[in-house]
Amino acid sequence: MKRRILTFALLLSLSLSNIFANTNEEVVNAKAANSFKKEFSQAQDVKWENTKQYVKATFKMNDQVMIAYYS
């Protein structure tokens, strides 16, 4: 009985952590992502933000924080 409860609790916690995890891998417009990869191939730590008007990429390149906007 204890083993079943423990197994259930473990599966529940793993499921919830996957659902609510912030992976910074939001669904990004394919055109924006392809353009970004071409223009900023050396970019690191890329974080994407989607809005109704634009897609924003915040990243580091050459030890500087940079921002690129795509519409």
Instruction: State the CB neighbour count (10 A cutoff) for residue 40.
Output: 15
Is 22 inside a domain boundary? no
Is 12 inside a domain boundary? no
Give CA–CA dist 50/9, Å, rounded. Answer: 34
* Cα Rg, the chain, nearest whole Å: 18
Instruction: Kindly give the confidence (pLDDT) of every residue in the chain, 71 residues in length, as a single tens digit, with 9 standing for 90 and above.
Output: 777 776 766 666 666 555 555 454 457 788 899 999 999 999 999 999 999 999 999 999 999 999 999 98
Amino acid, res. 60: K
Counted domains in the chain: 1
Is 44 inside a domain boundary? yes
Tokens of 21: 């995890």
| Domain region containing 34 | 28-71
The verdict on pTM exceeding 0.85 is no
Rounded alpha-carbon distances, angstroms, from residue 15 to 8, 20, 70: 11, 9, 33
Contact indicator for 38, 57 with CB cutoff of 8 Å? no
Is 5 inside a domain boundary? no
